[in-house]
Amino acid sequence: MIKKSDSFLGEEKENSKRFDSEKGIYIHIPFCSSKCFYCDFFSQVKSSSARREYVSALCSQIKNYGKNYLKKPSVRTAYIGGGTPSILTGAEFEAVFSSLRSVFDFSETAEFTVETNPESTTEELLFVLKRNGVDRISLGIQSLSDAELQSCGRRHSGEEALAAVKRIKDAGFDNISADVIIGLPGQTETSFLKTLDGIATAGVDHVSAYILKIEENTVFSHKGVLEPDEERTETLYLLASEFLSKKGFEHYEISNFARDNKRGIHNFSYWQGKNYIAFGAGAYGYEDSVRYHYSPNLEDFLASKGNAERIIDEVLSFDDKKKEELLLLLRTSDGVSASFFDEKTLFFARKLEEKGLGVFKNGRFSLLPRGFLVSNPIISEFLSLYDERGV
């Protein structure tokens, strides 16, 4: 793995006025009260003192970034994820927000999201978030079935999840996203529909539905839990797409559904290939054709005192970005322009349309829900055809 200094990315004061206002910010909070059985994200169970030390280092990192600019750069979206960001105290969030405001201009920010869990989404926390400009909450519900929640190590009940949605709405938030998992142990079509219906009825306008994957070094992996079979996965996935569509949700990305124009702007910017700045241990970023991350090592991050070194993962060429644009846009219902296609790729797209996996509409080609289910081999084939012709 190659490491480069920040200067490699061209973040120099002379370029301060050229900051892309379409950039976003991603901040990683790597702490949880306990580890969910399916989770392989970088998160740890740590003491309150360790969390305070992390917030201090994180604030220093943000402020150090600001030294690269003569004026505050504006930012389009911000997202605080984890882990469980809501494990932080109100005072710790205040410190993070203060550091962000000292460096960035949020006057034109279109969306500011914070991830929370039901058991830690308190009225006090919501007050702090609302006061500091957060306008979207992403709530980790996963299921409304108590048996399914217990099977995957969650710390809340279905009733507590719905109570958290009510608290969020009562606090003045009208943009709420809920995560659910497809294929949990013991999950049935009936229980899954109850989860989706309960969430939609509660007033959630965005749903992220992720198919269970058994990753290495997770509790599920150690317990020998198997991934749901393809037939069960397909049934539940298409059930979600059909049911949520009837409830007014647009299936706008492989795993995401939104109604009332509540698409996740920050995450959608990833699929549009837009830039985003990363802060925090284990955080990933993309700026000026450079994809990078910070080491998922808490001790190293704390020792850096805000000067953690970026690890460069790749520098994308023009051709790389064109192929990645295809890859990312095919994840969305917006799809790709017909101008992408030559004779071979057009033939392949037409075959997908005949099989009910994709559709041409208004000069664009996009995958349908059944196509989303098998998107990886489809996208691989498109990329292979592009390589043959030389993008």
What are the residues whose beta carbons fall under 8 Å from the beta carbon of 221, sequence distance 6 or more?
214, 215
Q: How large is the average pLDDT for residues 72-78?
A: 93
- pLDDT of the residue at 120: 97
pLDDT per residue as tens digits for the range 204-241: 999 999 999 999 989 999 999 999 999 999 999 999 99
**What pLDDT sits at residue 340?**
82
pLDDT score, position 167:
98
Residue 294 has a CB neighbour count (10 Å cut-off) of 23
How far is CA 20 from each of CA 79, 104, 277, 377, rounded to the nearest angstrom?
A: 17, 12, 11, 34
pLDDT confidence bin for 339, thresholds 50/70/90: confident
Q: What is the mean predicted confidence (pLDDT) over 141-158? A: 97
Q: Residue 323 has which token pair?
A: 């192929």
Q: Which of 17-26, 83-92, 181-190, 334-343 has the lowest mean pLDDT?
A: 17-26
pLDDT recorded at residue 325: 85
pLDDT tens digits, residue range 240-251? 999 999 999 999
Residues linked to residue 111 through DSSP beta bridges, in sequence order: 77
Give CA 23 to chain center in angstroms: 15
Tell me, what's the pLDDT at 390? Answer: 58
* Closest to 298 measured CA to CA, from 8, 39, 55, 126: 55
Tell whether the model's pLDDT for residue 164 goes beyond 50.
yes
Q: What are phi and psi of 99, to 5 degrees?
A: -65, -40
Amino acid letter, residue 56: S
pLDDT, the chain, mean: 91
What share of the chain has pLDDT > 70, as a percent? 94
Q: How confident is the model at residue 385 (pLDDT cuts 50, 70, 90)?
A: confident
Q: What is the mean pLDDT of residues 253-264?
A: 97
The single residue listed with the structure tokens 């969650």 is 154
Q: What percent of the chain has pLDDT over 90?
A: 83
Q: How far apart are CA 142 and CA 179, in angstroms?
A: 5
Whether the pLDDT of residue 315 is over 80: the answer is yes
Q: What is the C-alpha to C-alpha distance for residues 356 and 368, in angstroms, rounded to an integer? A: 7
Mean pLDDT of all residues in 57-78: 93
Summarize pLDDT for 20-65 with one digit per residue, the tens.
556 899 999 999 999 999 998 899 989 999 999 999 999 999 999 9
- The residue behind tokens 């973040």 is 11
Which pTM value belongs to this model?
0.91
Contact (CB, 8 A) for 236 and 230: no
Calpha distance 48→53 (Å, rounded): 9
In terms of average pLDDT, the best of 56-70, 165-179, 377-391 is: 165-179
Q: What is the rounded CA–CA span in Å between residue 184 and residue 105? A: 42
Instruction: State pLDDT tens for residues 358-376.
Output: 999 999 999 999 999 999 9
- The helix/strand count (H/E) of the chain reads as 14, 15
Do you find a cis peptide bond into 83, omega within 30 degrees of 0?
yes
Query: Would you say residue 165 has pLDDT above 50?
Result: yes
Would you say residue 10 has pLDDT above 50?
no
d(CA 126, CA 141) in angstroms, rounded, equals 17
Residues facing 74 on adjacent strands: 105
Euclidean distance between CA atoms 176 and 203, whole angstroms: 8
Q: What is residue 120's three-state secondary structure?
A: helix
